[in-house]
Amino acid sequence: MDHKGTVTLETERLILRRFAVSDAADMYRNWASSAEVARYLTWEPHPSEEATAELLAEWVKEYEKPETYNWVLVLKESNMPVGNISVVNISENTACASLGWCLGTAWWGQGYMPEAGNAVLRFLFESVGFRRVWANHDADNAKSGRVMQKIGMQKEGVLRQHGFAKGRIFDDVRYGILAEEYRSMLHE
């Protein structure tokens, strides 16, 4: 693999770029403070804009590592940050990566996350050289599973009572896509 770090990606409606600490107010307001956004995720809603800024300061430092992939989704039309997508786990031995994402509720159901996910898959497969990309979701969060399907991932299975977040055990649904499957999708 040829790690390149978080480079700017562009889609029809989005710019995916590195976070800056100056994104704290928008991130906090648009998704990080939302209990609804965090409902199925591992983190709790942020208690303050200052807490968001502290987290972003840590994330910005991580960009020094070429194997860090963490994008903020910015709407082209308004220059508004509305969510994020990142590689949350890398297996160097198998050239596999897992993705995680979240999006402010005001932008749910408009196709932004599949649009961002497709751009990230293209980058990870074509530019970095990952062999497999996967994602998982709480079985109760079917919307996240639909995003996985829309970006070409196939359901690989359910790990029953495997997930744990916020004091709750849940069924963990896994999806994945191989580089050759991604390439064949492009030629359909």
Q: How far is CA 61 from the centre of its chain?
A: 19
Query: What value, to the nearest 5°, has the Cα angle with vertex 72 and ends 71 and 75?
Result: 130
pTM for this entry: 0.94
As a whole number of angstroms, the distance between CA 55 and CA 73 comes to: 17
The whole-number pLDDT of residue 167 equals 86
Please give the average per-residue pLDDT across 29-34, as a whole number.
97
Please give the average per-residue pLDDT across 1-23, as a whole number.
97
Find, among 164, 176, 174, the residue nearest to 40 by Cα: 164
The whole-number pLDDT of residue 49 equals 97
CB 144 within 8 A of CB 155: no
Q: What is the DSSP letter of 159?
A: E
Residue type, 88: V
The whole-number pLDDT of residue 163 equals 87
Q: Is the pLDDT of residue 188 over 70?
A: no
- Structure tokens that stand for 22 in this block: 């100056």
CB 156 within 8 A of CB 174: yes
Q: Read off the pLDDT of residues 39-82 as tens digits, 9 standing for 90 and up.
A: 988 899 999 999 999 999 999 999 999 999 999 999 999 999 99
The whole-number pLDDT of residue 165 equals 85
Q: Read off the pLDDT of residues 80-126 as tens digits, 9 standing for 90 and up.
A: 999 999 999 999 999 999 999 999 999 999 999 999 999 999 999 99
The whole-number pLDDT of residue 99 equals 98
The whole-number pLDDT of residue 186 equals 78
What class has domain 9-186? alpha beta
Task: List the chain domain ranges.
Answer: 9-186
- For the chain, the average pLDDT equals 95
